Structure 1
Amino acid sequence: MTIPLRPTTSDVAPIAAAPVRGALASLSLALLLSSLGTSIANVGLPVLAQAFSASFQQVQWVVIAYLLAMTALIVSAGRLGDLIGRRRLLMAGILLFTAASALCGLAPALWVLIAARMLQGLGAAVMMALAIAMVGEAVPEERTGRAMGLLGTMSAIGTALGPSLGGVLIALAGWRAIFLVTVPLGLIAFLLARHCLRDGERSSPASRQRFDLAGTLLLALVLVAYALAMTIGRGSFGMLQVGLLAAAATGTGAFLLAEARVKSPLFRPVMLRDPVLAPSLAINLCVATVMMTTLVVGPFYLSRGLGLDTAMTGAVMSIGPLISTVSGVLAGRIVDRLGAGNMVMAGLAAMAAGALALCALPGLAGYIAGIAVLTPGYQLFQAANNTMVMTGVAAGQRGVISGMLGLSRNLGLITGASVMGAIFAAALGGADAAAAAPDAIAAGMRLTFAVAAGLIIAAIAIAGVARFAGARRADAAGEM
């Protein structure tokens, strides 16, 4: 059985004469907002605990609720966009995110804030899934790489900007400002989407299919179980976490069996046999895990291991986002010029070198050198991988494939924060990272990034095997 990942001529609609810059601005802002929502609330947890007279375990659900909703529904959001129209659903997602942001900022009680954050996460799932899916309708195919590079830059900026922007807003205007600041940005994104994005995204076959509600619910339960196992223990694993992981594994099997039998599934398991898609999802997860490791371990190493004060730590941590801002669009241009497949390998090679540098090179200069190699490698990989996966995807599959890319990234971020954080904590011998000796912090840093380098090397191996298998298939097809 074949899968319609790549289009026939009738699937591909011509690029409309909509303003490309306005379309890209709309998609970029949507991705920026969804990423900003992931990181901006973390810095406000102590203030929220005080404002609502709540424990840390209670206020952490402000972060977890957003992450759970976005992760659990991102694939379903992409699929629904394929069925009812991506422009229409993206506009609805932006409005939902904006309204939920306003509700967060006006919340009179903690439970209202948590519920609003879940709605905000649902809007973010729609924006994250459909922003990448709509690149094919916003720009010509030969400019896909630079568009993906721009979106990658905006995603990185949103994730990295959250803590610093949140801290400034809380100091100036209180905790409500960290949510209200996204309201005007959301309205701008909506207006840009309304005026600059084009209609007619659906392919005819997809428009006649029904939405797989049962599959959506089952997949959501699986992803919620995994995300809870990775987040509520904060790096420690007990019987609850083991039970949640077992439930996630069992649910995954049940989901794949159910999807193989449904007439109009959320996605067909046979899609994972695609020689481009499955390896790209696995590699994307590994890469996101490593990038989250820099955000989890880096602050402890700089402050406790190297003895930098808070201002200097923040300045050094900003180097990565600054490099991302400069290198994202450039990476996209390189992908357009030299080809996505080659640049996936080049980006992974640079990331491996950066992770090894963070593991082996001591001191502040070694840390900066590692980040200076790792970050542009990540941007190059992300632009190339997204381009390779999304180029030529059939019109009726763009949303769900983009959602799967977003899901693999989110799962990688969750895994990096929990598993890699646990590895770092284990390397400290049970000591509290906030009070551990500098030598212990440095040893934990080396071990954690040795594991990170191993993950990237494994990703390179996956990419190499996939390219070899793809070449053999092409040769076999040519001989027939």
Structure 2
Amino acid sequence: MKTSKWSVLAIVAIGVFMATLDASIVNISLPKISLYFRVPLGGMVEWVIIAYLIVISSILLTLGRLSDMIGRKVIWVFGLAVFTASSVLCGVAPSLLFLVVSRAIQGIGGAMIMSVGPAMITHAFRAGERGRALGFLGTVVAVGTSAGPTLGGIITQAFSWRWIFYINAPIGIIGIITTIRFLSEPMRPSGAAKKFDPVGAALLSLSLVLLMLAMTFGQEIGWVSPWIMGLFAASAVLLGAFVLFERRTAYPIVDLSIFNNRLFSASLVSSFLSFLSLFAVMFLMPFYLEELLSLQPDHAGLLLTAVPLTISLVAPVSGWLSDRYGSRVLSSLGLTVASAGLFFLSRLTQSTSLSGILWPLIVAGFGQALFQSPNNNAIMSSVPENRIGTASGFLATVRVLGQGFSVAMAGAIFTSLGGAKAGAMLTRNGAHDTVALQNTFVHAFQIAILTSMIIASIGIFTSLARGHKRQD
């Protein structure tokens, strides 16, 4: 019996919600985790987050290709099982090292889930409905991301930090049962006897691990320090070796000819630029709201939900429109609106009202949603059936890398212009020269957001460069 396409969407939604929720739910509980294990907030406790993100980013592409070879269902089921079991291990962790290792294992499960989710939806929905389905998936991602900090705070306060991991167990079990019960897709596609490329997988994964380590610690150690420059250089060398090896092997992890497809390449570059530019808002705005305007964290968090809430409302509509009118105009218009939102956000000062902050956030979120669903639809619809796992892996990888580079870029600009130091001094009681500190903070904030606006504007042209092909 053929699985209902809406059943597939529901199954994917369960797994993706769990994975995206866990990416954001842990941050707010780090102080409690640090206190429990009696370690300072920083150092090894940061690896509770870092280990998860580095593992995910390093293996997404490999898992996407693997799903094309052995089947999406087997990767999905194992991903849910690994994620659920490792969540329990995180909850019972007797030591900080045990927790970090369990989070790394959880990252493997999360990567399995995120690498094949869009591919499962692409396979289940025909081209004329795919954009709407991917738009609904975008809503799930937005809800999971926005609910994480709030839900994490409530759970940690009411129970303990361990329950932010235990909560995944029932969700994961439901996901596994529904997948096995309702997903009729075979565990292995017929005629898919292909060889795996372990050398290429190792080169790619190690290159991405070193890149993420450099991006994570560059601000702390110094971007031009020998350690960070060495990590960047080693990552580039390994990536070059990967490309050379892939051109010569008969069974590559990434068939580089996929980039000859202009629709795929231009849409992928546009996706990277969108995350590079727009994630800076979610990174910098908490500092603006809490350090410059002295808002409480819960009030700041409530104000920032305007972005994911707008995305959750607009994404399904923009996906539906892309099914009918194609992705080129919608995606380009979305980045145009997002660029306008970033420009308005770059005009914020210490005297801006809350309503004056809210509407530019809504504009930026609207533009992001208008861009994302049609662009994702274009990426997933531009490749043949036997490559949708690879496309799905690329889609997830550019999101993680774009967000990582965005934090590094915005943080470097904001810090180098004195914004971070000014913000820290403003939070201290009795700080002198308050006006001067506020002006320094505002200047650094505005330049960082304006830089993001320029990057988003470049994305408009890469989006237009995809051509006029309509995805029907």
TM-score scaled by structure 1? Answer: 0.90
In structure 1, the residue matched to 2:318 is: 331
**Structure 2 equivalent of residue 266 of structure 1:** 253
TM-superposition CA deviations, 1:287-328 (whole Å, max 9, x none): 112232112100111122233233321221122122222222
Alignment-mate amino acid for residue 338 of structure 2: M
Q: Distance in 1 between matches of 2:188 and 2:127?
A: 18
Q: Does 1:181 align with 2:181?
A: no
Residue 220 of structure 1 aligns with an amino acid whose one-letter code is: S
Counterpart for residue 109 of structure 1 = 95
> Are 2:246 and 1:256 equivalent residues in the alignment?
no
CA deviations on 1:399-422 (whole Å, 9 max, x unpaired) are 111101110110011111222112
Change (3 A) 1:93 1:132: same
Contact 1:44–1:167 (Cα < 8 Å) also in 2:
yes
Shift of 1:228: 0.3
Aligned partner of residue 185 in structure 2, secondary structure: coil
Amino acid at match of 1:343: L
Matches of 2:137 and 2:187, distance apart in 1: 20
Question: 2-side partners of 1:343 and 1:81: how far apart?
Answer: 30
Aligned partner letter, 2:181: H
Matches within 5 A, 1:375-386: 375-386=365-376
Contact 1:286 1:456 in 2 (8 A): yes
Give 1:70 deviation, angstroms. Answer: 0.4
Residues 90 and 165, structure 2, Cα contact 8 Å, conserved in 1: yes
Q: Deviations for 1:372-417, whole angstroms, at most 9, x for unmatched residues?
A: 1111211121111110111152221111111011101100111112
Bigger mean CA deviation after superposition, 112-121 or 280-289: 280-289
Gaps of 5+ in 2: 427-436
Partner of 2:429: none
Aligned to 1:284: 271
Determine if the alignment matches structure 1 residue 391 to structure 2 residue 381. Answer: yes
Per the alignment, do residues 204 and 191 of structure 1 end up closer, same or farther by CA in structure 2, a change over 3 Å counting?
closer
Equivalent residue number for residue 5 of structure 1: none
Identity of aligned residues (%): 31
Tell me how far 1:217 sits from its aligned partner: 0.9
Equivalent residue for 1:161, pick from 135, 143, 147: 147
Q: Which residue, out of 21, 32, 46, partners 2:17?
A: 32
Give the CA deviation at 1:141: 2.2
Asked if the contact 2:52–2:107 (Cα under 8 Å) also holds between the matched residues in 1, the reply is yes
Q: 2:432 matched to which residue of 1?
A: none
More moved, 362-371 vs 315-324:
362-371
Figure out how many residues of one structure are paired with residues of the other and give that number: 454
The answer for unaligned runs of 5 or more in structure 1 is 1-15, 472-480
1:476 corresponds to: none
**Partner-residue secondary structure (3-state), 1:54:** coil
Superposition deviation, residue 451 in structure 1:
0.4
- Kindly report which structure 2 residues correspond to 1:2-401, keeping only aligned pairs within 5 A, or say none: 17-55=2-40, 56-200=42-186, 207-234=192-219, 236-237=222-223, 238-362=225-349, 363=352, 364-391=354-381, 393-401=383-391
Shift of 1:49: 1.5
Distance of 2:248 and 2:280 partners within structure 1: 39
Q: Once superposed, what is the RMSD of the aligned Cα atoms?
A: 1.9
State the 1:232 CA deviation: 2.3
Deviations 1:423-466 (A, max 9, x none): 11222266253324333222222111100100011111222233
1:121-156 residue CA offsets vs partner (Å, 9 max, x unmatched): 111111111000111222232110111101111112
| 2:423 corresponds to 1:426 | no
TM-score scaled to structure 2, two decimals?
0.92
Which range is displaced more, 381-390 or 416-425?
416-425
What SS does structure 2 have at the residue aligned with 1:467?
coil
Q: Distance in 1 between matches of 2:216 and 2:157?
A: 28
8 Å contact kept, 2:329–2:464: no
Shift of 1:202: 6.3
| Paired amino acid for 1:275 | R
Q: CA deviation at 1:369?
A: 1.8
Asked if the contact 2:306/2:365 (under 8 Å) is kept, the reply is: no
The CA deviation string for residues 11-54 of structure 1, in whole angstroms up to 9 with x for no partner, is xxxxx742232211111121112212211111122211221122
286-295 vs 359-368, which deviates more? 359-368
Q: Closer, same or farther in 2 for the Cα pair 1:189/1:234, shift >3 Å?
A: farther
Note closer, same or farther for the CA distance 1:49–1:233 as it changes in structure 2 (3 Å cut).
farther
Aligned twin of 1:414: 404
